[in-house]
Homo-oligomer: A and B are copies of this chain.
């Protein structure tokens, strides 16, 4: 399916403010960027680099006053993400070198604390994809998904205590549980067609059966329409913007995702 995403960010800064942004999706094995815009208003010098996770990041210093960033992308994505019940657990010794980092605990996914709980949740399920599906199912049932309930990321331990969270929170807990089973898992930030209410979205991927598979505990069923912007160990790695210095007087963001094939 073809999607047109649009993300309008506006800031009001008191002082010149360095920003590191992650707002440019890039083509990969699952999505093709056919058209893209990235406008700065006013236009300021900016440069771009690729981080260690392969994400395109933009660096600039926003001027004082109103500053607007507008990005548009036309993207071809899968009509339905791949699913693979029964795909086996990959033995640690068979994992590709560059996947190993996704086994480690991270800022918001304290996987070192979730081994036992993950074993309980997945008891009786075949090792691999089915364990992750069981985790996603458990999240759907037990953790209330309430958009807007948290502004700043909370970690998996806290999500588990509160039993409620935004998409990012559910994903963090899902990731921590997967890693607790020695299944590599990572956070994806991006857009989802027909997300209700429309906003940035976050979901997670787990590495089983020799590749990454998509999981989303906020949706009753796994469909398609996912546009990825950034991948990382958790939200600390894939903030769509990091700002340095005094907070903005005001920040707003408006997102739309339309289908247009």
Contact = CB atoms under 8 A, between A and B. Distances in A.
Most buried by B among A97, A101, A237: A97
A105 B119 CA distance: 28
B236 A104 contact: yes
A interface bracket (residues with beta carbon within 8 Å of B):
35 or more
A10 B89 CA distance: 28
A259 interface: no
A121 interface: no
Given A58-B27, A92-B244, A100 B20 contact: yes
B48 A26 contact: yes
Interface string A33-64: 11111110001011111111010111111000
A202 interface: no
A140 interface: no
B237 A104 contact: yes
A92 B50 contact: no
Given A18-B91, A101-B51, A34 B39 contact: yes
Name the 7 nearest CB pairs between A and B, nearest first.
A27-B48, A18-B92, A49-B97, A52-B52, A29-B47, A35-B37, A92-B244
14 contacts: A18-B91, A26-B56, A27-B58, A28-B47, A28-B48, A32-B45, A33-B38, A34-B38, A35-B35, A35-B36, A35-B39, A36-B36, A50-B54, A51-B97
Interface of A: 18, 20, 26-29, 32-39, 43, 45-52, 54, 56-61, 76, 91-93, 97-98, 100-101, 103-107, 110, 112, 152, 182, 236-237, 242, 244-245
